[in-house]
Structures are given as structure tokens and as C-alpha cells.
Amino acid sequence: MTTTANTETAAPTQAVHWDLHYDIHLGETWSQFMEGLRQKKILATGCSSCVRVFVPPQAYCESCFEPTDGWRELPHEGTLEVFTVAWHGFTGGPQAPYAIGAIRLDGASTLLMHWVVGVDFTPGADVREQLPFGTRVRAVWAEERTGQILDIAHFEPVG
């Protein structure tokens, strides 16, 4: 903890800093998903009583409250339904600008959030004109994969 001498131009404050590390247990369902990513596979689960297919996989269906029954591999392609360009990021986050998209992989009922490339970040550019919603995109794999969501480096437009 350090004290800031910031009393001339603003109300007096004192700095507090947290530097804590956690190991979050993935559990059985997400462990399998992450192992799939390491092997360049996108694994999903399906609800046992409805048609919903979840990616990232879930052990239970959020609509039916029934367990999901079985794994399936989804294609690496899908439709970019919506994205935003983060022109301004935050401390400790990725270097702005970057584009985050919601991607409907073929066969999935949910959206997968991930980075998308193919947007011109020139200030003032119409980002949606360059990458219209509905654009087909596919996963680009990271060279080194360790079993985490960024094993997919990003999604890029097909063709």
C-alpha cells in the first residue's frame, strides 16, 4: 500500500492494490472442452430432452434443467452474428483496438464469444461495412495450444 500526495487538485485518496492469484478448477465438462481445443477440436454438448447444443459445453441444459447427454464435435466455421470494436480497453486488458465477436458455429444453439480479425481500425472507419454481420468466419488455431480458450487465436472471414 502506498500513500499518494494527491491533495492539491483532487480529494485526498490512498492507494490500495490487490495482487492475488487463483487457480480455478475447470471441472469435468470444461476440462474436456479445453482438451479438445488443444487437439484443434471444438466440442459441444447436447440437451437430452430438447435440441439445444451448447458451446462452450454445459453439463445441464439451462432451459430444460436436464443433463446434457453426449459430446459432439462442431465444425470450425460459423456465422459472425454481431461484434464490437473495443477502441478503448482497460488496465491489464488486451491492447486496443480489438474486435470481439459473437459467433454462431454451425450446429450450435449458443454463441461463442471470441476475437475476430478482418476489420480496418483506421479511426473513423465504418467497421461494420468492412465486416458485415452475417459474415462466415472460421477458427484460426494458435501455434502453441495449452488447453485454454485462446488456443483459438481468433476467427477470420472465410474466403
Integer Cα distance of 95 and 18 in angstroms: 22
Q: How far is the CB of 9 from another protein (least distance, A)?
A: 8
Closer residue to another protein (CB): 76 or 114: 114
Rounded to a whole number of angstroms, the minimum distance from the CB of residue 97 to another protein is 9
Q: What is the contact surface with another protein in residues (CB under 8 A)?
A: 9-11, 13, 15-16, 18, 24, 26, 30, 56, 62, 81-94, 98, 100, 102, 109-115, 123, 127-128, 133, 148-150
Q: Which residues of 21-33 are buried (b: 16+ CB within 10 A; e: fewer)?
A: eeeeeeeebbeeb
Q: Which DSSP symbol is given to 4?
A: -
3-class state of residue 36 by DSSP? helix
Nearer to another protein, 1 or 159 (CB): 1
Give the span between the Cα atoms of 17 and 5, in whole angstroms: 16
Residue (96 or 158) nearer to another protein, CB: 96
